[in-house]
């Protein structure tokens, strides 16, 4: 009842770091659970992370999910939302759980800056070429906390084997610091209620 993460970014632009930490901790827990079940989501993006007014986040749209044989399995099919695909997927290579981490990293950068990280590249093919040939998107260290910058950089390593697992990222300094802030610091539920309450009042 609070739309998707994409709706939230479209509504207010860049999200506070506490909001990002809270949402991404829950998303990482979901991706870790998928890996435990040997599942690759293959379509992680802001529109597929759903929010509710209780401050809960759910990863949605499992229409592209692939089941692997084990924790070391690989996929080979080309499905999902192309602009959020990892370099190895765009290249037509086999891929695995690390491809979801790349998509998560793009989603995080989008939440932090308020727009899709490759928006400056023209058209579908321009984005694909940028993913393959340009440096990975990164956050400006003069504007964002060092641990948030590092979290994004970890997710957006070009080589899939260099990306941490969801479980490892749950231990990252950014998630430890902002993933579960005390109520006096930040609470996602009131934040969402205030954001969407204001919008609904204007439409009455």
Give catalytic residues, as residue numbers: 43
71 phi and psi, to 5 degrees? -70, -10
Instruction: Give the chain's largest Cα–Cα span.
Output: 52
- Give, to the nearest 10 degrees, the angle between helix 188-202 and helix 17-36: 110
Q: Of 64, 90, 96, 67, nearest to 79 (Cα)?
A: 64
Tell me the three state secondary structure of residue 136.
coil
Using only C-alpha atoms, what is the Rg of the chain? 17
């Amino acid at each position: 009842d609070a739309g998707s993460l994409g709706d939230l970014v479209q509504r207010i632009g860049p999200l506070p770091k506490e909001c990002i930490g809270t949402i991404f901790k829950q998303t990482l827990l979901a991706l870790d659970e998928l890996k435990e079940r040997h599942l690759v989501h293959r379509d992680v993006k802001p529109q597929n992370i759903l929010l509710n007014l209780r401050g809960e986040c759910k990863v949605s749209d499992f229409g592209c999910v692939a089941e692997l044989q084990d924790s070391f399995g690989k996929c080979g099919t080309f499905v999902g939302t192309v602009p959020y695909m990892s370099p190895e997927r765009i290249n037509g290579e086999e891929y695995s759980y690390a491809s979801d981490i790349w998509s998560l990293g793009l989603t995080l950068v989008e939440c932090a800056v308020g727009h899709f990280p490759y928006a400056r590249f023209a058209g579908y093919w321009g984005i694909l070429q940028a993913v393959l040939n340009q440096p990975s998107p990164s956050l400006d260290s003069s504007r964002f906390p060092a641990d948030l910058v590092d979290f994004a950089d970890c997710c957006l390593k070009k080589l899939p084997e260099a990306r941490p697992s969801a479980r490892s990222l749950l231990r990252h300094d950014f998630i430890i610091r902002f993933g579960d802030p005390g109520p006096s610091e930040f609470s996602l539920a009131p934040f969402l209620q205030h954001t969407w309450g204001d919008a609904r009042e204007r439409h009455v």
